[in-house]
Structure 1
């Protein structure tokens, strides 16, 4: 009876695991979506007392250009591929995903956030898939080995094997794939363990995309995951997400301002605030909550400048203990100074066109962020290994075309206030000279002579023309 009961329990448990995973993809409550939309409210219409008139850049719900593609992906209408959303932090990648999930009540979709610790990531994946990794099983009474002895990578592989069975059953019933989203994969460590986990996820993404049963979506703020995944990708499609343009920024800021129950200032105030912070949605959301948007935007610029100096501030008379840090800082400022020079040149050309009558001062769009090819940045910085650290620190952004830009308009303005200081060039050069001096001292070798008595003399002669060696050869001959 115990033997037969054990067989029946194992069969029931395996079926129950698949049923629980399928419940995770059913319409209704989703943990990630519920947290994302909790407390949100929407302003349905523009108040009548608005002073903007008929030119109000207002829509009931702001939609980015990429939202239509994200909707088709999340709704299971884009099979045969897997996707990576690539863009700087705060551009709205996760918001677009949650908006698409909300439209279908998260049916057929699950979201999991990445984490550097794979044990934590294992638990998050189990929560997203409603999978307990056999920790709720009672079969341990009849087996010798713990199922978790293989580590988190093996547990995740077991979860994917179960998900594959559920996905096959779901695709036969509905005719569309499940969607599994991994958010912020840049949080994986860029080491062997993290890259192996990315490879494990990508291998399943490739096979499931080929069969059309699961569409996996990755989102990343940094460039390095795309660089790693690109090596073995054959069905991967990249969706680049950038900051909003001036028109889109006005639409977003007006809508956020009304949602926060603030009155609408004159259009010039909105444009001046956007000129400082740019089209980054996270920055627009922050200034929309302030009583004085313009003052808050200037405060954000001061904070950004202070943060930038705390990360890569220059120390002219640095000690040799911080030589590596100052080498990184000085090379970073070489790149930022080039960005500032490009922005100054763009403004000069624009002013000349306005003076000549080619452009109207009333119909000017915001200048795009200056961009430099990746290979050219290596030449400017003289170090290729610093670009990844700058990208991870949200100082620069790298796109799929291998073009490098400042991370945001706000950061470009902050760097410009530093570069345009009177003594900046001299300070930067003095730091580079100091680094060269310390490196020269590190290359210096000290000769020690032993067993010398008082009055002994050591003669040292330096021959740069190799004449002593020739004389010694003649004497030997």
Structure 2
């Protein structure tokens, strides 16, 4: 009876696991979506100057990329999996949540990445409503389970169960499930983080080929795309960028009205956009303030102070911080080049405006300067510093391997630093100091003991292998 009952329990438990995962993809309550929408539901109860990175503009502003997001999340795009690539604050996650809300999260689930794979294992289990057999009662009657081998094995078992559910769902609904892995740049850029990404990519390739499940990766940094493109055959990359100036003006005005603040003249909105650009996260913060221009100026000061704290120059630095100053000086070489390109852009437009070839509004519609990746390596003289700058959100790298400043706000902060009197001399002094310290490290000192007056020291330099040069002069 115990044996037969055990067999029946195991069969029931396995079936129940698949049913629970199906519930995670059913329409209705989704824990991640509920948290994301809670601020919007209670927006009226919040004070007007409440600061939050949650962007409530989606009810008043529809981005051009939203149609594609709706199509992907709704299961209309089959045969591919997707990578959303763009700087922080451009609205990637918000568009995904909006697309989920329209279909009440039916057939879609979202999971946030985390550097600790044990934490990510639990988050994936929550997103899939999967307990990794930790709620099973069979542990009393079996040997030590091999699933204790680490989070990677547990994640593989979860994906195996998900595949079975996806097969049943696609047969029933005639559309694929959608799994969103948000902020995959939070995985560590080491062997364990890369292995997890490749583990999901292998599944994404096979599931996209069969049309049963679509995985959407979202990243602020470039390195996950650079890693995954090596083995990608069905991956499509979508670049999410800042709004252009005209869109940013409309967005700022709509956000302002949504916060129940008094409307401002167009000149004020244009001045604000001139500071923060089309970055939605910044526009959302500025639109809530009573004095938008003053707050935008304070954001610029904060960005400038942060930039100098990260890559500030120390002309008379000690050799202990030589590596840090080498990184800082190389970073400023790149930022100075961006500033020079922006100055050249402004000069050319001003000449065209003066000649009547373009209207004065063209000065506010300048794109961020961009430099090819290979050219940035040459400017910085180091190929390994670009990834650190991307991780700090100082630069942004797109799918065409073009490098730009992370935002207009950061470009303006860098421009203020570069245009300060004596900056070029300070940068040259830091680089000279680095060269001096490196030269000292390469210098070797010979010390001779017990040398008395009249003693002779013979020094020979033999580069030819047979020639001996002697100095007969007394030392």
TM-score range for the pair, normalised by the shorter chain length: over 0.9
Distance 1:66 1:158 in 2: 34
- The answer as to whether partners of 1:43 and 1:258 remain within 8 angstroms in 2 is no
2:102 match = 103
SS where residue 205 of structure 1 aligns? helix
Q: Which runs of 4+ in 1 moved over 6 A?
A: none
**Aligned partner (choices 452, 456, 459) of residue 457 of structure 2:** 459
Distance 2:58 2:105 in 1: 25
Measured after TM superposition, the shift of residue 148 of structure 1 is 3.1
1:304 and 2:330 are equivalent in the alignment? no
Distance 1:358 1:344 in 2: 19
SS where residue 149 of structure 2 aligns? coil
- The answer as to whether partners of 1:25 and 1:108 remain within 8 angstroms in 2 is yes
Written as runs of structure 1 = structure 2, the 5 A alignment for 1:83-102 is 83-102=82-101
TM-score by length of 1: 0.93
Distance 1:3 1:211, change over 3 A: same
1:243 and 2:242 are equivalent in the alignment? yes
Measured after TM superposition, the shift of residue 458 of structure 1 is 5.4
Distance 1:70 1:460, change over 3 A: farther
1:47 match = none
1:227 match = 226
Written as runs of structure 1 = structure 2, the 5 A alignment for 1:16-165 is 16-40=16-40, 61-165=60-164
SS where residue 256 of structure 2 aligns? helix
SS where residue 227 of structure 1 aligns? helix
Measured after TM superposition, the shift of residue 232 of structure 1 is 0.3
Distance 1:359 1:453, change over 3 A: closer
1:131-187 per-residue CA deviation (whole Å, 9 max, x = no partner) reads 000100011112111353110000000000000000000000000000000000001
1:248-301 per-residue CA deviation (whole Å, 9 max, x = no partner) reads 111211121112110111110000000000000000011011110000000000
Measured after TM superposition, the shift of residue 449 of structure 1 is 3.9
Measured after TM superposition, the shift of residue 448 of structure 1 is 3.8
Query: What value does the CA root-mean-square deviation take over the aligned residues?
Result: 2.0
- The answer as to whether partners of 1:42 and 1:259 remain within 8 angstroms in 2 is no
Measured after TM superposition, the shift of residue 226 of structure 1 is 0.2
2:48 match = none
Distance 2:60 2:258 in 1: 11
Distance 1:399 1:246 in 2: 20
Written as runs of structure 1 = structure 2, the 5 A alignment for 1:2-21 is 2-21=2-21
Written as runs of structure 1 = structure 2, the 5 A alignment for 1:69-468 is 69-362=68-361, 365-449=364-448, 452=450, 455=453, 457=455, 459=457, 461=459
1:50 match = none
Measured after TM superposition, the shift of residue 72 of structure 1 is 0.3
Measured after TM superposition, the shift of residue 364 of structure 1 is 5.2
- The answer as to whether partners of 2:346 and 2:363 remain within 8 angstroms in 1 is no
- The answer as to whether partners of 1:334 and 1:380 remain within 8 angstroms in 2 is yes
- The answer as to whether partners of 1:43 and 1:255 remain within 8 angstroms in 2 is no
Distance 1:333 1:457 in 2: 53
Distance 2:456 2:194 in 1: 57
**Aligned partner (choices 452, 467, 470) of residue 467 of structure 2:** 470
Distance 1:460 1:128 in 2: 77
1:55 match = none
SS where residue 405 of structure 1 aligns? strand
Distance 2:461 2:193 in 1: 53
1:51 match = none
SS where residue 340 of structure 1 aligns? helix
Measured after TM superposition, the shift of residue 470 of structure 1 is 2.6
SS where residue 169 of structure 1 aligns? helix
